[in-house]
Every structure is written in C-alpha cells, then in structure tokens.
Structure 1
C-alpha cells in the first residue's frame, strides 16, 4: 500500500532527465515540490508551482536549511558518470559531490526532521555482472570512480536508516527514453546515419528501464509502507543483447538490416589496436577495449525484490518506446 496524503518533497536533480519527470508526477498527484537547483538556468526549466532553493552538493554552506519544511527527500543528483575522466582527480571529484554531498544532505534532512529519504543510486555500485545476473545479495565490486562513490553514498544512507530515518536506495541500470543526451538515442542516430556497424549476436544480456518506469519506482520508494530499510534494483525485467537492440532500432527506423555482420574477432582486433594507439597518443578513440565491452559485454541485473515487495510492474518495453525516440532523432536531422 502507498501513502496518498499530500506531502512536501525536496527533489535534488529536479531538472535532469529523470528528475524533471519525477517532479511532474509528484505535482500531478498533489504533492508540493521543493527543487534544489544550482543556478538560475536550472530554475527556468522548472514548472511555475515548484519552490526553488539554491544548493550545490559540492558547496557545504549552500546546503544549510535545504530540507527545512520537507517531509521527504528524493536525492537524484550526483556527479554524472559521463563526467568520469581518467586522471588523479577522478576519485576525489566523485567523492566530494556524490559522497560528501550526500553526507551533508542527510545531516540537513536529519536536522529538519525529514521522515523519508530516497537515494537514487546505480547498478554501477555493484560492478558489471557478466553473463550471470546480479541481485541485491551480490557482493558489490564497483569498477569505476562513479560506482565506488555511489556505493559509499549508499552506505551513508543505510546508516541514517539504522539511526531512525526511513531510507530507501534504488539501483538503476541504463535509463532510456526521449533524452537527447542518452546513449540509446545516440545509438539510434548512428544507425540512422549508417555509422553503426551491424554487430554479431554474441548472446550478451543487458538490463535497462524506461524513464517512466524509473519514476514509478521512485514514487513507490517515496510512499510505500514496505519500502523503508531496503535496497532495490529497478529494471524492466527483460534482458537485451546488443544485436537485439540493433535489430529493434532498425525496425523502428523502417530499415532492413544488412545481411552481414562484423565478426567478433574483427571487433576485438580493432579494440586492441585502439588501446595501443591510445597509449601512444594519449587520445580517446571510438573503438577500444572499454567501448567494445559496452557493446558486446553483459550487464545483467534482477529486479525480483521490488516486484515482490512493492508490486512494481514495468509498463514500457523497448519496442514500445523506440518510435518516440526515433521521432526525436528525426527532428534533429540537419
């Protein structure tokens, strides 16, 4: 059962791809929304009936009083994975924003008497699962600064839960939808332009979730009486190989895929060459070992727990979502 009483909810990351849709859903069901934003540009993207509060996770003083008057906090903001860069400052940059920012926000929430705190984490806190699907009981082994920071922030949220606050952590995989910056939209654009190779079927399995289903999970985390004290993985319950995604995109574009595929061995050789050239030149190349792993590797996660505990039922499949994403790509053609 979920709570239906109107509440005042502070949302961080409120102008992002997921956050903006969450704000609309909260307003639609009668909640009052307080958005924590970093500047005036972000404020302009919010609905008129949203209260604005300035705050930056990386600036401690800016968070003072951020949670005053809020019944719940939905913490979506963090240093983005796309900001991951190789270098000595990478770990510290993620720590300052994602870990220390969460620590400060929890302290403000505690001081303001916030009842429930929902933290949007990532499956990157667990690491890549390979062919075996991971679940909440899997020992985490994050492999990136982003993932390690998310895992550390999760621990802070869990500790706040042990100290009396109602806390919920959601781990999301790739969230897709009509997002101009999203990796799936970029893949659609590449296929549309004839710049994406016809990949072979290697049987890899990847988990995803549509943005509307991610919002549904966040709403359940914020309102369901059984949610506090738990960590949940959120997916659409399906597993996709990259080849299956490629073929689905071709269908949505109305294209007939080539009758041939690039052999896996050729892609592996190209990735090894890319790695070698990167070491020589110091420049990132489009095909390297990391890129190939994202294309052909598995990242498989199970979301049985949230389905069982909170009755989470994903409503959108990739096939259903692709037409809208294709229209977005078409509207951006030169």
Structure 2
C-alpha cells in the first residue's frame, strides 16, 4: 500500500491518478475536502499537517509514502513570523508523520521538497546539482531544508529509507499562479514585455515529476538520496512563451524590452522577486538522477506544454 499526502493538491493529485492507473494499491490522505478519486483509491481524512496529527488509521498496512503535503510558498505572506509558520507544518508536521511511519513499519518515505533548498538562482553556466551545499534564502526554502536534514537523520536512526526530490517550477494541466496567468495572456494575444530575456530556466512537467516519484518509490538505488528533476531542457523566459504560444496554435506577442529595464521598473514597484523569476537564471543538473535511477523524462518540454495549455482553465 502506498500513502500519498497532499492528495488533493496539484502534484499529489496527479501522483494518485498515476499510481491508480499503474495498478498500485493507493491511499490518499486528505485534510477535510470531499473529493472523488479513481476507482480503488482509498481516501482517509487526517486533518491539518501538524505536530499533533494522528496518522494511525492512514498508516495501517502502508509500505511506502510520498509526502507531498506542505505549507507552500505564497506571494503575499500575511503571517507575522513566516518561518515559524512554515516550520510548524513543513518541519514539525513532516517529522511527526515520519516518526509514526517508522513506528508503523513503513519501508520507504519519499519527500517532495523544493529547488529553493539550493537557492533562488544558479550561477550562469553552473546549474544546481543534487549534492551542492544548501543555500535557501526564504522561509519556505529554509523549512524544506530543515525537514530534509531531519528526515535523513530519522531514516538512519529508524532504518526507514528516505528519498528526497527537489523540483523547480512544476507546470501541467491545472497549473495556477503566475504560470497560468501568463498562459491566459498568451491565449488572449496580450502583448507582453518579455521578448528579450536571455536567461535559462529549468522546469518540470507534472507528468515527468509524477513519473520520477514513482521511480523513487521502487528503485533500490534511490534510498538515502537527494534528486533534482527537470524536463532535461532549459529555456529562456522568451523562448518558453514562444513555445507555449505555439502549443496553443498562436503567435506570442512579445515586446523586446531589455531585462535590465524590467528589473529596474519592478524594483520601483516593489515587485523585485517577480522580475527575478522572469529574468533570472535557475538551472538544475539531473545527471545524478539519470545515472543512479536510469531515469529520463518521458515527456519533452513541448509535449508538457501541450498538455498544460490543453488543460488550462479559461
């Protein structure tokens, strides 16, 4: 039996669908929402992810876990102490689950982390690697780093196999936030000032991430390792928008505004972090993932974009 936490979320939901399609006995942990899952998937309500959550019913008979539930990074943080809030859920909540899982005899625990553990941007020409020193810059990334470290320690102490996966930006059917907004603007033919961005970004299609998570559940060499994941092709923001528009059967209307002008204007408007994501470089090296797991992304970037735009909510 495989338990998936965060099963109503963007990644967790896709993983549950994939596991069910592949015929795995799957249990979906949910907070309180009533939601339909594929036939054969068991749903168990566990409430919020916290240090006090009781996982006994959810863990009965479980051999492996993919832990995708988390307090996620938000653009407009309202908490007075964001790091404390992230720690409550992403560190203490995660360790509570992992401790109960080890006691219940769970063999493998796959933790969905974030590339933010590596940092916000990679040096030009030097992609992040899985075994680079951690360098998170925001509270979300710090909480994910702390959870990783404590999970690996717990795994050694309790004899439970821990696997960590750090994705960059994930896109696919049902994607929301800034990625979905830009895709809608492209579809409507809105001119965008992003025609002269010469950065390099790694992304990962939702189906590719789900495929790697399944591989990490099953492959013997995954135990105790940290893996990075991407589509295996890095693109500039400008090229990404052009190819997304092509997937829609449209032409992107991109104005060639220099990135320095965009970043300067964004700083004046208090949107420096938005400009950084649009203009900055963030590349990941998945050579370790390929080498140890024999894994390659099933979908190309163009195939992933095609699926994403076909599933885009208007």
TM-score of the superposition, structure 1-length normalised?
A: 0.86
Residues 263 and 276 in structure 2, CA contact (< 8 A), matched pair in contact too:
no
Match of 2:183 in 1: 188
Gaps in structure 1 of 5+ consecutive residues: 1-7, 276-287
- Offset at residue 293 of structure 1 (A): 0.5
Residues 91 and 143 in structure 2, CA contact (< 8 A), matched pair in contact too:
yes
Q: Which has the larger radius of gyration?
A: 1
Report the Cα distance in structure 2 between the residues aligned to 1:257 and 1:211, rounded to whole angstroms: 23
Report the Cα distance in structure 1 between the residues aligned to 2:223 and 2:89, rounded to whole angstroms: 24
Residues 4 and 12 in structure 2, CA contact (< 8 A), matched pair in contact too:
yes
Match of 2:147 in 1: 153
Residue 265 (structure 2) aligned to one of 267, 270, 283: 270
Residue 18 (structure 1) aligned to one of 11, 20, 28: 11
**Residue 139 of structure 2 corresponds to residue 140 of structure 1:** no
Give the match's secondary structure for 1:209: strand
- Offset at residue 319 of structure 1 (A): 1.5
Report the Cα distance in structure 2 between the residues aligned to 1:234 and 1:267, rounded to whole angstroms: 29
Report the Cα distance in structure 2 between the residues aligned to 1:35 and 1:261, rounded to whole angstroms: 46
Residues 99 and 152 in structure 1, CA contact (< 8 A), matched pair in contact too:
yes
TM-score of the superposition, structure 2-length normalised?
A: 0.91
- Offset at residue 203 of structure 1 (A): 2.4
- Change in CA separation of 1:47 and 1:270 when aligned onto 2, cut-off 3 Å: same
Two-structure CA RMSD over aligned residues (Å):
2.0
- Offset at residue 196 of structure 1 (A): 5.0
Residue 94 (structure 1) aligned to one of 86, 89, 93: 86
Counterparts in 2 of 1:243-322, with a 5 A limit?
243-258=238-253, 260-275=255-270, 288-322=271-305
Give the match's secondary structure for 2:113: strand
- Offset at residue 207 of structure 1 (A): 0.7
The size of the alignment, in residue pairs, is: 310
Give the match's secondary structure for 2:111: strand
